[in-house]
């Protein structure tokens, strides 16, 4: 047991140092390794398997709403990037440039894609000619590069994986409906599959995507009280279409510009899972994306019949769940600690006495509760335990958010709430002045996160200037 205890103590307590706790889990749960390329990470098989499950679940959602997958080049000519002024200015500080091909200097610099709006627009200009060509509902799974100064695994790295949806529509109403539809897809995925409660809303103008008319986001609150932007959806109007001369002939035989959207989530979602559900024993994974949903640990596996029964259970359960049988020569205690570290939702223990009783022990990761289960109903019992894990971690995350959400009417109240209770979401009114938005952050440290779709009247006055308020805003310190 000394060895088992040592495994857990290798993780810094989250209450002692949350940032170090996060890094410890990323490394010790075998999610990532560091690369010789500064700011870039190696996603190890276990970490990548989580991303594959995220990708699989989201991809099926996108296809159910008519979206098709495509792939664009990773390089963007500088002249193409320059076509949309606001867009290029927004990304200029983060762009990585290719200047040589082999020994030869390129006649034009190539940008390594930080996002692909310009490439999609170039393509759309070639394939959209008539109203019959609309809508175009495309999605791309790829990596992008943004030359971040400060990096952290999954949350902010110079190269990261994501999906980016890009769509074109005949009318503004259709495009706006698409933008909200995809935001709702993200919110539902986060809440149902990742068990992460989110706030849906619109970004302020100062925080919207470069070149967008409007940006919508889902915001989640991490265990330490900091906010994390978990997904975004953008409505571009016809700005990009005009910049790239994308026109089509409508039903009245007139040349008009289509309306565009884009939307995306990234491997940052893995960071959100860690920081929302993890504990001092390691990861706690939502069953929907866990690479292993059930781990079978034979107890006293050297005794007759134990491994045979464990293999029989694996064969049965594998028809319904993602299952691993660990029949290695490590001690059972070591295995318990190992799979707690990896966040496996359900552990099944089977030993000689269990076999005699035609039963086994099921242990749920989030609360470590044990249940003795008859083997004749093992499939139904595991299904029930997986639901209990999802519901349990969602309830805990929601409780954390509710306990860390403060309604404030002045900047003094914001400072007092954070000083007394710690970081969290602040709900406060705003007059829509950019100057007040900046001043709130300057005076309190919290920045605007979103203008929620569900509005509340905290006060009639702006939290900063005291003038008549127009919107209630969620504010927070963010990753």
At 8 the pLDDT is: 47
Alpha-carbon distance of 110 to 284, in angstroms, equals 41
Q: How far is CA 18 from CA 85, 166, 362, in A?
A: 40, 36, 30
At 257 the pLDDT is: 98
Higher pLDDT, 238 or 3: 238
Contact present, 443 and 416 (Cβ < 8 Å): no
Closest Cα to residue 455, out of 421, 407, 415?
A: 407
Q: How far is CA 242 from CA 52, 248, 284, 444, 455, in A?
A: 37, 12, 47, 41, 34
Alpha-carbon distance of 428 to 455, in angstroms, equals 11
Q: Mean pLDDT throughout 183-198?
A: 98
Contact present, 322 and 294 (Cβ < 8 Å): yes
Q: Mean pLDDT throughout 188-203?
A: 98
Q: Which residues pair with 412 in a beta bridge?
A: none
* pLDDT bracket for residue 91 (50, 70, 90): confident
Among the residue ranges 1-15, 197-211, 257-271, the one predicted with the least confidence is 1-15
Contact present, 168 and 260 (Cβ < 8 Å): yes
Superfamily of domain 405-476: C-terminal domain of ProRS (3.30.110.30)
Q: CB-hemisphere CA count at 13 Å for 166?
A: 19
DSSP sequence for 252-310: TS-EE--EEEEEEEETHHHHHHHHHH-BTTB----TTT-S-SEEEEESSTTSTTHHHHH
At 90 the pLDDT is: 76
* pLDDT bracket for residue 5 (50, 70, 90): very low
Alpha-carbon distance of 349 to 363, in angstroms, equals 8
Has residue 129 got a pLDDT over 80?
A: yes
Among the residue ranges 3-7, 71-75, 129-133, 374-378, the one predicted with the least confidence is 3-7
Helix/strand/coil for 70: coil
Has residue 3 got a pLDDT over 80?
A: no
Alpha-carbon distance of 262 to 107, in angstroms, equals 31
Number of H helices, E strands in the chain: 15, 23
**Domain ranges in the chain?**
17-277, 294-389, 405-476
Task: Give the list of residues 6+ apart from residue 119 with CB closer than 8 angstroms, or none.
Answer: 72, 73, 76, 80, 113
Alpha-carbon distance of 137 to 460, in angstroms, equals 42
Question: Is 17-277 a CATH 3.30.930.10 domain?
Answer: yes
* pLDDT bracket for residue 10 (50, 70, 90): confident
Contact present, 261 and 233 (Cβ < 8 Å): yes
Alpha-carbon distance of 18 to 255, in angstroms, equals 56
CB atoms within 10 A of CB 65: 12
Please state, rounded to an integer, the average pLDDT across all residues of the chain: 95
Q: Mean pLDDT throughout 301-325?
A: 97
Question: Is 294-389 a CATH 3.20.20.100 domain?
Answer: no
Has residue 416 got a pLDDT over 90?
A: yes
Burial of 332 (0-12, 13-18, 19+ CB in 10 A): middle
Q: Mean pLDDT throughout 301-322?
A: 97
At 77 the pLDDT is: 95
Contact present, 180 and 195 (Cβ < 8 Å): no
* pLDDT bracket for residue 47 (50, 70, 90): very high
Q: Mean pLDDT throughout 227-254?
A: 97
At 388 the pLDDT is: 98
Q: Mean pLDDT throughout 95-118?
A: 96
Alpha-carbon distance of 204 to 257, in angstroms, equals 26
At 73 the pLDDT is: 97
Domains 17-277 and 294-389 share a fold: no
Task: Compute CA 325 distance to the chain's CA centroid, rounded to the nearest angstrom.
Answer: 29
CB atoms within 10 A of CB 127: 10
At 140 the pLDDT is: 98
CB atoms within 10 A of CB 336: 19
Kindly report, residue by residue over 429-443, the tens digit of the pLDDT: 999 999 999 999 999
Closest Cα to residue 186, out of 85, 58, 66?
A: 58
At 9 the pLDDT is: 52
CB atoms within 10 A of CB 175: 22
Alpha-carbon distance of 394 to 414, in angstroms, equals 27
pTM of the entire predicted model:
0.95
Which region holds residue 96: left if phi is over 0, alpha if psi is between -120 and 50, else beta? beta
Helix/strand/coil for 64: helix
């Amino acid at each position: 047991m000394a060895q088992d205890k040592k495994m857990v103590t290798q993780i810094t307590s989250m209450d002692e140092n949350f940032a170090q706790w996060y890094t410890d889990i990323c490394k010790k749960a075998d999610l990532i390794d560091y690369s010789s390329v500064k700011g870039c990470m190696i996603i190890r098989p276990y970490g990548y398997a989580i991303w594959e499950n995220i990708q699989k679940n989201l991809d099926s959602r996108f296809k159910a709403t008519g979206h098709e997958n495509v792939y664009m080049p990773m390089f963007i000519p500088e002249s193409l990037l320059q076509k949309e002024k606001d867009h290029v200015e927004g990304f200029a500080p983060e762009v990585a440039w290719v200047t040589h091909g082999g020994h030869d200097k390129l006649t034009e610099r190539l940008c390594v894609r930080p996002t692909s709006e310009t490439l999609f627009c170039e393509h759309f200009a070639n394939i959209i000619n008539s109203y019959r060509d609309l809508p175009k509902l495309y999605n791309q799974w790829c990596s992008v590069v943004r030359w971040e100064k400060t990096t952290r695994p999954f949350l902010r790295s110079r190269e990261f994986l994501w999906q980016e949806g890009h769509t074109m529509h005949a009318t503004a109403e259709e495009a706006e409906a698409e933008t909200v539809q995809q935001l709702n897809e993200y919110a539902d995925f986060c809440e149902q599959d990742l068990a992460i409660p989110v706030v849906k809303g619109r970004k302020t103008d100062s925080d919207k995507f470069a070149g967008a008319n409007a940006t919508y986001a889902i915001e989640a609150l991490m265990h330490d009280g900091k906010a994390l932007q978990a997904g975004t959806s953008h409505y571009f109007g016809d700005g990009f279409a005009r910049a790239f001369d994308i026109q089509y002939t409508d039903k009245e035989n007139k040349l008009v510009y289509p309306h565009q959207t884009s939307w995306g989530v990234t491997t940052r979602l893995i960071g959100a899972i860690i920081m929302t559900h993890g504990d001092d024993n390691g990861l706690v994974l939502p069953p929907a994306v866990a690479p292993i949903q059930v781990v079978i640990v034979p107890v006293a596996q050297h005794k007759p019949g134990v491994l045979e029964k464990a293999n029989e259970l694996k064969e049965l359960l594998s028809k319904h769940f993602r299952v691993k049988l660990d029949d290695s020569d490590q001690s059972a205690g070591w295995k318990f600690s190992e799979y707690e570290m990896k966040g496996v939702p359900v552990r099944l223990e089977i030993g000689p006495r269990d076999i005699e009783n035609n039963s086994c022990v099921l242990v749920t990761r989030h609360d470590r509760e044990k249940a003795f289960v008859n083997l004749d109903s093992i499939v139904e019992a595991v299904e029930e335990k997986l639901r209990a894990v999802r519901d349990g971690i969602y309830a805990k995350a929601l409780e954390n958010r509710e306990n860390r959400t403060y309604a404030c009417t002045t900047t003094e109240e914001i400072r007092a709430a954070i000083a007394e209770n710690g970081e969290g979401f602040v709900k406060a009114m705003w007059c829509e002045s950019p100057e007040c938005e900046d001043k709130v952050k300057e005076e309190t440290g919290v920045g605007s996160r979103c203008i929620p779709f569900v509005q509340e009247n905290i006060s009639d006055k702006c939290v900063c200037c005291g003038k008549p308020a127009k919107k209630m805003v969620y504010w927070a310190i963010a990753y």
